[in-house]
Amino acid sequence: MVMRTARVGLRVAAGQRRRCFGLLVAAGDVWACVLDMNRWRRQRGLRPIAGYQALCRELSAAGPGTFGELNTVGARSVLRRYSDAWLATAARRKDGEAAARLPRRKRRLMPVRYYHGTFTLEGLCLRLPVGRGCAPLWVRLDRPVPYPPGQVRSVTLVAEGGRLFVDVTAEVPIATYPPERQPDPERVAGVDPGVIHPFAVAGPDGEGLLVSGRAIRAETHLHLRDAKYRRRAVARRAPKPGQAGSRRWRKHRARQRKVEGRHRRRVRQAQHEAARQHRPARTGRHHHHRHVPGGDHAPSSRTAPPRCRTVPA
């Protein structure tokens, strides 16, 4: 069995949207409270509280209703995230990595995870647990979950680009093949993620597959050009460092965030369609390839993008 995660959008009304963002803001408050608590303890010469069980005891001492509609299950998911990040950083420091830093940045919106048994999934409807005494929160999914309901193990409420999503994690069995369609250990295909073209697949006997990405590149060029013109138009209205922006500047920033989110959605949708129509793994299974390794996944620097090599047709 392996764990797989799929992101599904939400179709919510104004009241549902307000309550969902309220849960994310409350989760951010939990994260900020833990950061402030450990900062105060460090200033007083006390040891920080990083263990999950110790953090849960502090949450229980705070009492119900402290973080609005966010219930104990959602708050504990934030505590689990903080504890894992803190302990992982401590382990890296112990191994000699001096650049490792403990969690210290506050976030306004924090993802909230609900595990199996705390939520209800019925078709396209999902019920998220809330605090005691609050009305039930039902939301509608924009597409069916690609996993059977019995295999879903957790759902995570997230916000990206002003939109609400749920990351559905399910436990799925490992793919098996009939005897006549098993992958051949001697056949290997190489996949190279590129900049202009998303995928380039090379196989034996001169076979190859090249997924063109010029439309994605054109969208990126147009977006960068429009962003440059917008920056020039509002350069005089930009506030100085430490100065609050004007009403027009706030409207410009809101418009800019909206355009950035729309650009990311367009690029992501184009990449999704390309991967769905020309899936490299599907091509490898069709030709009975045992291994489908990827190339240039870890470039030497952050500015050096993956290279796209020529594939024989």
The model's pLDDT over 65-122, given as tens digits with 9 standing for 90+, comes to 788 899 999 999 999 999 999 999 999 988 888 888 888 888 899 999 999 999 999 9
SS3 at position 292: coil
CA 232 to mean position of chain CA atoms: 32
pLDDT confidence of residue 299: 42
Mean pLDDT of 49-60: 90
> Which runs of consecutive H residues, i.e. helices, occur in the chain?
14-43, 52-62, 72-94, 214-233, 247-277, 280-286
Q: Where in the chain are the domains? A: 2-172, 187-237+254-291
Question: Does 287 score more than 70 pLDDT?
Answer: no
| pLDDT for residue 195 is more than 80 | no
- 211 has a pLDDT exceeding 90: no
Stronger pLDDT, 306 or 220, i.e. the higher one: 220
Helix (H, G, I), strand (E, B) or coil at 157: strand
Q: Which two tokens stand for residue 6?
A: 């799929």
Sheet holding 199-202, edge to edge: 190-193, 199-202, 208-211
Please give the structure tokens belonging to residue 282.
């599907």
pTM of the model: 0.69
Q: Quick one: pLDDT band at residue 311, thresholds 50, 70, 90?
A: very low
Classify the C-alpha dihedral 24-29-34-36 as positive or negative: positive
Give the tokens for residue 99: 């650049």
